[in-house]
Each structure stands twice: as structure tokens, then as C-alpha cells.
Structure 1
Amino acid sequence: MNHALATAAGAIAFLWLGMVLAISFVEAPLKFRAPGVTIPLGLGIGRIVFRALNRIEAMLAVAVVGVLAAAHPAVGVLCATAVVVVVLAGQLAVIRPRLNRRSDRVLAEGDTGQRSSDHLVYVATELVKVAGLLALGVLALTG
């Protein structure tokens, strides 16, 4: 694999990883602990933040795939890339729309009943994506 392209792929992967960790595992849970942040307010903020994050993630996915298409990477790099791209696609196409419908109900009707299992699925997929991005970054930079 071309060294410059491998370095670029690794840098993109670690940038993406940092964004996911900062937003999903720091900002998202902490915003609800801030004084005066109600569930509806936190959900409204979260929707805006995650919409922006997901758009950036889609651009980073396109960038890493583009770089790797020119780099002729090892199988491990391709597998890690496939994992993160498939997880992101699943989040965008299936999980996020379900979470948005739930937050629509909370914002419109004040429905604060049981927490959605979709939220737990999203967190689980974020953990898989984190592992995939870490593997992608390490393999791209060391392969």
C-alpha cells in the first residue's frame, strides 16, 4: 500500500474516531446533566448535533473509501473499512430514523415513557464503529 495514502487513510480514521468518541460518548450523555437542560431541550440539541456528525461521518467515509481505492490496501484494512461503512449505513438508514420518530413523539406529545431499545442498539453500533475505526487506523498506519 502506498505510504502517503495509508497515512491519509489512518489520519481520516483517527479524526473520525475522535469525533465519534467526543460526541457519542462525552457530549451526548453529559448534556442531560447540565442545569436547566430538560429532556425535550436535550433531544432537540442532540438531533442537531447528531445530524451534523452523521453528515461529516458520511463525508469521511467517502474520503477513506476514495483514498483506499487508490491505495490497494491489505485485506485487514478493507475489512475494517467495510465494518465502519456498513455500521454507519445501518445507523443512517435504520436506527436514526427510528430514534427521530421517538424524539418527535417526545417533543410533540411529551411522551417520556420507557426508553427506546433503539437507543441501546445505536450505542452498541457506536461501539462496533469505534472498534472498526481503531482497527482501520492502526492497520492503515502499520500495514
Structure 2
Amino acid sequence: MTVATAITFTWLGMVLAISFLEAPLKFRAPGVTLPLGLGIGRVVFAALNRVEAGFALGLAACLVAGPRATLPVVFAAVAVVALVVQLVAVRPALTRRSDRVLAGEDGPRSHAHFVYIGLEVLKVAALLAFGIAVLATA
């Protein structure tokens, strides 16, 4: 489970750094407009989500290949399901909204952003719990 632990804490660190540090701070940088920040965010989160999908597959492979207790599997499943919901249900809504903003439209704020953040918090908690559970059983 050493590989699973490494994957978990690397994934956790990336989500914390990008979602909770880079994403909000980029809009505070001088000269960063909303369209520019959205464009940067789309590129960064597309890359993050691709890497996360790879981490999810790697974690699943570790769980299939090695010994596993029920609770860590549940934590891993919660993290993976949160990612899948983000990619399948929430990201398309965020993309549609950012497309409209980048096209110059002005409209109401999207509630999908808050859903995405909630899923990020859930994913962080699940990854942290999984990592701790795996270390505790090692």
C-alpha cells in the first residue's frame, strides 16, 4: 500500500494547492481580468482533472491488487465518486457558464461553482481519511 499512500498524498496536495490556493489567488493578481482568470482556470483545471483521473485509476489498481480493509475502500470510493461527479455533472455546467462570460455575456452567477467547491472539500476529506487509514494499518 506504499504506492497507494504516495498517490493519495500527492493527489491531496495537488487539489489543495490548485483548488484552494491558486484558483482564488489568481483573481487577486494585478491585471487579471475575469475572462483572463477564467481562461487560465479552464486550462489549469483541465490538466488537474486529467492527472486526478490517472491518480484515481492508480488508486483503484492498488486496491484491487493488494490487501484492503473496508473503511479505506469506502474513503477511496468517496474521493473517486466526487471526482466523477465533478467531471460528468459539474464541469460541463461551469464550462457553459465560462463560455458565456468569455463571449462577453453578463448573467447570473452559477451555483455549479459552489457544488464544485463542496465536492472538492468532500474529496479532500476522503483522501485525507484514506491516507491516514492506510498509514494506520501499515
| TM score, norm. by length of structure 2 | 0.97
Aligned to 1:21: 16
Aligned mate of 1:98, from 85, 93, 115: 93
Give the counterpart letter for 2:14 in structure 1: M
Structure with larger RCO (C-alpha < 8 A, sep 6+): 1
Query: Counterparts of 1:108-119 in structure 2 under 5 Å?
Result: 108-111=103-106, 113-119=107-113
1:80 equivalent in alignment to 2:75 = yes
Structure 1: which 5+ runs fail to align? 1-5
Moved more, 8-17 or 38-47: 8-17
Query: Is 1:125 matched up with 2:114?
Result: no
1:7-34 deviations in Å (ceiling 9; x for gaps): 2111110000000000000000000000
Aligned match of 1:48: 43
Alpha-carbon deviation of 1:60?
0.3
- Please state how far the C-alpha of 1:134 moved relative to its aligned partner: 0.2
Counterpart of 1:10 (choices 5, 12, 32) is 5
TM-score, normalization: structure 1? 0.93
How many residues align? The count is 137
Q: CA RMSD in A?
A: 0.8
Gaps of 5+ in 2: none
Among the aligned pairs, what percent are the same residue? 59
- Where do 4+ consecutive residues of structure 1 move more than 4 Å? none
Q: What CA deviation, in whole Å up to 9, does each residue of 1:40-93 have, x standing for no partner?
A: 000000000000000000000000110111112100111001101100000000
Instruction: Supply the distance in 1 between the matched residues of 2:101 and 2:134 (Cα, whole angstroms).
Output: 42
CA distance in 2, matches of 1:83, 1:62: 14
Partner of 1:3: none
> CA separation in 2, counterparts of 1:86 and 1:25?
20
How many Å apart are 1:114 and its aligned residue?
2.8
Query: Secondary structure of 1:16's match?
Result: helix
1:33 equivalenced with 2:28 (yes/no): yes
